[in-house]
Amino acid sequence: MKNPILAFLLAFFPGGGLLYLRKPLRGLAYMFGEFGLIVIFTFLYAHWEYGLAFFVVIAGVILYVVNLVDTAITASKTAYPTAANQAEAMKNPTEEQERFFTILLSFIPGLGHFQLGLMNRGLTLFMAFVGTIMMVFFVTVLTSREEFLLFLAILPVIWVYGFFDAIHQLNKKHKGEELIDRSILEDIELNRVNGKKSKSIAVALSFFPGAGHLYLGLQRRGIQLMAAFLFSIYILDVLRLGIFLFLIPIIWFYSFFDGLQKASAYGKEELDDTPIISYFLNQQKWVGIGLILLGLYYLTSHMALPAVAPLLDDWLNVDFKYWFDHYFQTTIVCLLLIGGGIKLLVGSKRKNKEDVS
């Protein structure tokens, strides 16, 4: 029996979920359809046909959503592993209609739960999703700081959890089990009292680097992953190091799949809170020196230099702020990269000598 969660995750690459579910014709149709529309859009955009390009984008979005819905419906049928159960499900069109509408409505968190009569649970997810959007945009507009839009990364966590929770509740109903209409917060509190943690919540939280690890009690590992992700975004933006933007998705994917692995192992084996980078734990002195240098840098760039640069420009006719903004940061980054490379080379030579001896 195929894993429906894995199938749905693979569906974010058009056709991938259906290929996993051994539906090659439909999977390849979605895949080549999306790539064909991308080629057509690129051609139209290059020839300034913006109107037609816009309609191609709309068609691509519709095809992508249909691919997700089709994969979700196909994957949900794996809840019936035997041929007898599949035949029984096909004889009951009411269940199939309910399954279709629940999955379709679940693309907006909470609406699928409303379809199943779980009003409190659905309202919790719907308000969390919509409330997060409203609050993030409100704070962003109020402070005029676009950095707050980063918190929109919480939305995929809420969406994925709401979607799979609706599928889980639907399968429970079709198995004849009683559905209990309690909110997500009540579930979390119940699991806390029982000393257990939800694997589905851990998987959903793993969409934000480090959050799933923190939920599972892996404090050091989670904090390192979260700090690495947020600090990378901040420092690359401040120092304008666009060439290193590839590091951000690498950190995200590593954190996400590490969170999935830890969640799957929870309850089966003891989880080891091993930090990702253990070197810094024993190097507090160098971390402290780095923080002091970073503080001096910001003190110079944001306070001292703006105050002194106009005076130096009048006396020496040299725009020090221009030279600082365009050359100093690049020089520092280059020196750090060169220093790091030299340290790795020296360490490699020492290790080779020790191995020989």
Please state, in angstroms and rounded to a whole number, the distance separating the CA atoms of residues 104 and 106.
5
Give me the mean pLDDT over the 283-296 stretch.
72
146 pLDDT higher than 50: yes
Task: Tell me if 303 is assigned to some domain.
Answer: yes
89 pLDDT higher than 50: no
Confidence class for position 241, pLDDT limits 50, 70, 90: low
Where in the sequence is the domain holding 342, given as residue range(s)?
284-356
pLDDT of residue 6: 73
157 pLDDT higher than 80: no
Write the DSSP symbol of residue 266: B
pLDDT of residue 91: 47
Give me the mean pLDDT over the 322-339 stretch.
74
316 pLDDT higher than 80: no
Task: Tell me if 268 is assigned to some domain.
Answer: no
Q: What is the pLDDT of residues 22-34, one digit of tens each?
A: 888 888 888 898 8
Tokens for 57? 């984008």
Whole-number CA gyration radius for the chain: 26
pTM (predicted TM-score) = 0.49
- Please check whether residue 233 is in contact with residue 182, taking contact to mean a CB–CB distance below 8 angstroms: no
pLDDT of residue 84: 46
pLDDT of residue 243: 57
Confidence class for position 104, pLDDT limits 50, 70, 90: confident
Q: What is the DSSP string of 238-255?
A: HTT-GGGTTHHHHHHHHH
78 pLDDT higher than 70: no
60 pLDDT higher than 50: yes
Choose the weakest-confidence range: 35-44, 55-64, 93-102. 93-102
Task: Tell me if 270 is assigned to some domain.
Answer: no
**Cα–Cα–Cα angle for 334, 335, 338, nearest 5°?**
85
User: How many separate domains does the chain show?
Assistant: 1
Mean pLDDT highest for which of 33-42, 206-215, 280-289? 33-42
pLDDT of residue 353: 65
Q: Residue with structure tokens 């992508």? A: 64
pLDDT of residue 66: 85
**Cα separations (Å) of 164 from 24, 90, 107?**
24, 22, 10
Task: Tell me if 151 is assigned to some domain.
Answer: no
Task: Tell me if 24 is assigned to some domain.
Answer: no
Give me the mean pLDDT over the 295-317 stretch.
77
Task: Tell me if 43 is assigned to some domain.
Answer: no
93 pLDDT higher than 70: no
pLDDT of residue 1: 60
Q: Which residue has the higher pLDDT, 159 or 355?
A: 159
Q: Is 216 left (phi over 0), alpha (psi -120 to 50) or beta?
A: alpha
Write the DSSP symbol of residue 56: H
Task: Tell me if 84 is assigned to some domain.
Answer: no
Tokens for 342? 């030299």
pLDDT of residue 82: 45
Please state, in angstroms and rounded to a whole number, the distance separating the CA atoms of residues 107 and 112.
8
pLDDT of residue 107: 78
Nearest to 151 by CA among 165, 137, 171, 172: 137
Q: What is the pLDDT of residues 121-134, one digit of tens each?
A: 888 888 888 888 88
Q: Residue with structure tokens 């889980």? A: 168
Please state, in angstroms and rounded to a whole number, the distance separating the CA atoms of residues 254 and 224.
12
Please state, in angstroms and rounded to a whole number, the distance separating the CA atoms of residues 164 and 166.
5
Question: Amino acid identity of 149?
Answer: L
Confidence class for position 299, pLDDT limits 50, 70, 90: confident
Task: Tell me if 341 is assigned to some domain.
Answer: yes
pLDDT of residue 348: 64
Please state, in angstroms and rounded to a whole number, the distance separating the CA atoms of residues 39 and 221.
42
Arithmetic mean of pLDDT over the chain: 77
